[in-house]
Amino acid sequence: MVKSMGASLYVPANHKDLAQIANCEKLPHARSLIFCLEDAIAERELSWSLFNLSVVLANMHDAIPAERFVRVRNPEVMERVLAMAGSDKLTGFVLPKVTRHNFDTYFRLVRDTDHSLMPTLETAEVFCDSEMQQLRSVFDAPGVRQRILCLRIGGNDLLALLGLRRPRGMTIYRTPLGPVIARLVTTFRPYGFALTAPVFEYLDLPELLDQEVAEDLAYGMVGKTAIHPTQIAPIEQHYKVRPQDLAVARAILDDASPAVFRMDDAMCEVATHRAWAERLVEQSHRFGAHALDAGRRTSLEGEPS
| Predicted TM-score (pTM) above 0.75 | yes
Q: Which domain holds residue 61?
A: 6-237
86 and 172 fall within a common domain: yes
Say if CB 232 and CB 226 are below 8 A apart: yes
Q: Judge if 198 and 253 occupy the same domain.
A: no
Shared-domain flag, residues 132 and 207: yes
How many residues are present in the chain? 305
* Cβ partners under 8 Å of residue 263, min gap 6: 247, 248, 251, 297, 298, 299, 300, 301
CA distances from 48 to 59, 89, 127 (A): 17, 21, 36
Is the Cβ–Cβ distance between 97 and 91 less than 8 Å?
no
- 1 located within any domain: no
Give φ, ψ of 192 to 5 degrees. 90, 10
The answer to whether residues 199 and 232 belong to one domain is yes
Same domain? For 82 and 141 the reply is yes
Q: Is residue 35 a part of any domain in this protein? A: yes
| Distance of alpha carbon 123 from alpha carbon 127, whole angstroms | 8
Are 185 and 67 part of one and the same domain?
yes
Statement to judge: residues 277 and 143 lie in one domain: no
Tens-digit pLDDT profile for the chain (305 aa)? 567 899 999 999 999 999 999 999 999 999 999 999 999 999 999 999 999 999 999 999 998 889 999 999 999 999 999 999 999 999 999 999 999 999 999 999 999 999 999 999 999 999 999 999 999 999 999 999 999 999 999 999 999 999 999 999 999 999 999 999 999 999 999 999 999 999 999 999 999 999 999 999 999 999 999 999 999 999 999 999 999 999 999 999 999 999 999 998 889 999 999 999 999 999 999 999 987 665 555 556 665 44
Q: Are residues 229 and 261 in the same domain?
A: no
Q: Are 215 and 256 part of one and the same domain?
A: no
Residues 169 and 33 reside in one and the same domain = yes
Residue 157 annotated in ligand binding: yes
DSSP 23: T
Specify the number of domains making up the chain. 2
